[in-house]
Structure 1
Amino acid sequence: MSEGKGRSWLRVKGSKNESRVSFVELFFDLVFVFSVSQLSHGLTEHFSPSGVIETTLLIFAVWWVWIFTAWVTNWLDPDRMPVRVMLFVLMLAGLVLSASIPEAFAEKGLLFACAYVFMQVGRSLFTIYAMKDDAPNRRNFQRIASWVAFSGLFWIAGGFAEGEMRFCFWLFALLIEYIGPAAGFRVPGLGYSTAADWNVSGAHLAERCALFVIICLGEAVLEAGETFAELPLTPLVVVVFITVFIGTVALWWIYFQFGHEHAAHRIEHDDTPGRLGRQAFTYAHIPILAGIIVNVVGNKFAFLHAEETAHMSTSAAIVGGPALFLLGNLWFKGSTTGRLPLSHMAGLVALLLLLVVAPAVEVCQLCMLATLVLVAVAVWEYASLTKVAHPVRPSSHH
């Protein structure tokens, strides 16, 4: 074999399978169904300022470990046995990570930290070895391994600490990791990475993130169905169920009808796909993920407190989920199209106005209004972009 052993684990550039998402990648993603479920359940049970802050940190951590793996499988071929085994090992660690989420700030903090550091550092070290014949990318992952190993010290320290100290250690660790890409993972003696170094398959990265959004929306559907099944069958419960379902469909429509397709095309033809990928997918998808999780919490509140007056915490969940989702899509679509969708900005304003009227309406009514805003945004964007794609021709008859 003329190529080195390490290179045989890489995706073949220019091949028909370069951008294909493999079945083992989809299998790996199933672990994060559990993660999203744990995060939404935990936030529902502890929807307080401290609970929101802690869950936000965990969302950032879960997303970061997933998106780093998505970037790695952009270069490594998951159909190669060593890479496949690596993903299976990460799945096992991911299950441990997910299982420890509810008590990450209690008794299972060290377990969460160890699983997280193992995934981040272990995957980076494996990639360094797999790329031993690809010097530029190998050096990139040497830099990444240095950064995640350094941040790992603070993750582990936080696992041993308690209370506010744990949160501070973990927040500092996350800041290190999130600053890393923007700083080019600069390491003394190894230099730093540039956007041109990250020659990725845009179509693959776009599809990976789209599939992750599907996982999150799937969790929203499952939660709605499970809650509907547990409650007595009344006209009000049926109305809330239909409203929640329509709202979830609207979220899907807003992301997939134009956003995903345009983003995949743009990144695939961009001169520096790494730069665009970092902006549109690595960072912009965080509020999209958070929005879906908070929306699941809001849907739960709509079922359980349908006839109650919408208090501040309930209103924050019901309105905050769609608002975060629109904000993320605004960022995502703005970075891939060069313009901010007016429909999304109007939707954000409308959702903010709902917070003003929330104390005067019932929870189920607020849920309906928030869903109406999402549907209006989806219809507005569809009508405007469809009109652009198919301009109306002037009639020959007067």
Structure 2
Amino acid sequence: MGNGSEPRRSWIIRAGAPGSRTTRLELFYDLVFVFAFLSVTTLTASELTPVNLYRFLLVLALLWWSWTGFARLGNAFRADHGVLPLVGFITMAATFLLVLGEPDAFENNPGGLPGPLVFAGCYFVIRMAQLAVFGWVDRSDPVRRRRLLMRAAFPTTATVLLVVAGTVPSRLPQERFAIPLQLSLWTLALLVEYVGGVTLARQWWMVLSAGHWAERHALIVLVALGESIIALGFGKHGLPLTGPVAVSALLGIVVVAALWWAYFDTLSFALEQALHKARDEEARIRITRDV
């Protein structure tokens, strides 16, 4: 994945190294994903219907895929060196704009920019920014270059499906046909990204630093738990602090604490050790993919 001597000598991109850890710049980038995840849960709670829940589960899955690609980038290359900070800022800006357009991602409301197209365009920029770095590193290798074209086909196809999902269903005469078609197109876009990426990743991906990969996921899980506590606090807003409300809030804290214990005191440590011990590249990729 571009781990040869060329990217190591380049001032543009510096390859990562085994044993590297998460940089502070990557933590800064994650702030926008914190906002993105919190925005998804807020929008879902505003209209708690099965259709709306499924819509924002799809949005959350695409955001997670975008974050995972960014974590892969930081594992392969130094996120705070050369051109990578610029790529990170582009990702932040596109993700922030994508989140602002989330409420209009499924329908084009009057008075603003076309929401579905804004969402699809921002998603495409996020994914292409990641692939552009790998394209630069692999530019001199014909085999890797051909694989990069195949990799780029997945987000391109997904983006086209998102554009169609945001434009075609609204032209149908009956809403009962439009919503299932839209959700089907979004689901197909998600499957293209996940199935394509997961099944073919072994051809181009490797986990260079097990510590970095485990730490990145531990930090994003910690963010999710923190957002759960924030949601508990906002859920009480406007309600008197009665006995049932207090008990519910405390039970919520117990659940969050139990999730922290389950992940950080048992699973996280064991997984990082398993990654360190997996010397075979395919075995390491299989572990990271399945987890």
Q: TM-score higher than 0.5 here?
A: yes
Give the total of aligned pairs. 268
* Structure 2 equivalent of residue 115 of structure 1: 122
Query: How does 1:15-34 map onto structure 2 within 5 Å?
Result: 18-34=19-35
- Specify the code of the residue in structure 1 equivalent to 2:260: W
Query: How does 1:233-312 map onto structure 2 within 5 Å?
Result: 233-270=241-278, 271-272=280-281, 273-280=284-291
Aligned mate of 1:208, from 192, 197, 216: 216
Stretch deviating more after TM superposition (156-165 or 204-213): 156-165
Distance 1:137 1:269 in 2: 28
* Structure 1 equivalent of residue 154 of structure 2: 147
- Specify the code of the residue in structure 2 equivalent to 1:28: Y
Identity of aligned residues (%): 26
Q: How many Å apart are 1:44 and its aligned residue?
A: 1.3
Distance 1:58 1:183 in 2: 22
- Specify the code of the residue in structure 2 equivalent to 1:242: L
Distance 1:12 1:138 in 2: 20
* Structure 1 equivalent of residue 15 of structure 2: 11
- Specify the code of the residue in structure 1 equivalent to 2:274: R
* Structure 1 equivalent of residue 203 of structure 2: 194
- Specify the code of the residue in structure 1 equivalent to 2:288: G
**1:30–1:170: structure 2 CA closer, same or farther, 3 Å change rule?**
same
Across the aligned residues of Structure 1 and Structure 2, the Cα RMSD in angstroms comes to 2.4
Instruction: Using structure 2 for the length normalisation, give the TM-score.
Output: 0.83
Instruction: Using structure 1 for the length normalisation, give the TM-score.
Output: 0.62
Indicate whether 1:86 and 2:87 are aligned. yes
* Structure 2 equivalent of residue 57 of structure 1: 58
SS in 2 for 1:11: coil
- Specify the code of the residue in structure 2 equivalent to 1:100: G
Q: Which structure is richer in relative contact order (CA contacts within 8 A, separation 6 or more)?
A: 2
SS in 2 for 1:204: helix
**1:133–1:277: structure 2 CA closer, same or farther, 3 Å change rule?**
farther
Q: Which runs of 4+ in 1 moved over 4 A?
A: 2-8, 133-140
* Structure 2 equivalent of residue 169 of structure 1: 185
* Structure 2 equivalent of residue 228 of structure 1: 236
* Structure 1 equivalent of residue 167 of structure 2: 160
Q: How many Å apart are 1:238 and its aligned residue?
A: 2.0
Which ranges of structure 1 fall in alignment gaps of 5 or more residues?
186-192, 281-398
- Specify the code of the residue in structure 2 equivalent to 1:116: Y
- Specify the code of the residue in structure 2 equivalent to 1:275: R
Distance 1:171 1:212 in 2: 24
Stretch deviating more after TM superposition (86-95 or 265-274): 265-274
**1:20–1:204: 8 Å Cα contact kept in structure 2?**
yes
- Specify the code of the residue in structure 2 equivalent to 1:174: L
Q: How many Å apart are 1:129 and its aligned residue?
A: 1.1
Distance 1:120 1:91 in 2: 12
- Specify the code of the residue in structure 2 equivalent to 1:77: R
Deviations 1:42-89 (A, max 9, x none): 221222221222122112111111111111111121111310110011
* Structure with bigger gyration radius: 1
Distance 1:112 1:79 in 2: 27
Distance 1:9 1:53 in 2: 39
**1:61–1:117: structure 2 CA closer, same or farther, 3 Å change rule?**
same
**1:223–1:254: structure 2 CA closer, same or farther, 3 Å change rule?**
same
